[in-house]
Amino acid sequence: MLVDDKRAGLTAYRDREDRRVFFHTETDPAYAGRGLASILVEQALNDVRAAGMRIVPVCPYVAKFLKKHTEFADITDPVTPEVLQWLEGRLAR
């Protein structure tokens, strides 16, 4: 996410077949308190829906967001040990 051409935040993911596995979200402290993380995650999840994919919320922030925004429940899959092992392998590369 850019604010005035400066990176204000990001949400990181890896795609596994038709699932987008979100594993990290952060915002720059200089932009804290503006609700940018929520905007960023909502846009990312809308992109997942538009792409016909599903969400796997490994990232604690994304998981917390999804508890409040049940409109994404229909495209959300649980985090499983298999997904965590796969993600660990992907991130180790």
Positions of E strands within 1-93: 2-3, 6-7, 9-16, 19-27, 54-57
The reported pLDDT for the residue numbered 79 is 98
pLDDT digits (tens, 9 = 90+) for 23-77: 999 988 887 777 788 999 999 999 999 999 999 999 999 999 999 999 999 999 9
Question: How many angstroms separate the CA atoms of 23 and 62, rounded?
Answer: 8
Average pLDDT over residues 17-28: 94
Q: Are 92 and 86 in contact (CB under 8 A)?
A: no
User: Which three-class secondary structure state does DSSP give residue 92?
Assistant: coil
Which tokens hold the place of 47?
A: 């992109």
Q: Model confidence at 1, in pLDDT bands (50, 70, 90)?
A: low
What are residue 56's DSSP bridge partners?
A: 21
Query: Would the pTM of this model clear 0.85, i.e. be above it?
Result: yes
Separation between Cα atoms, residue 12 and residue 29, nearest integer Å: 17
Tell me the residue length of the chain: 93
Q: What is the mean pLDDT of residues 74-88?
A: 97
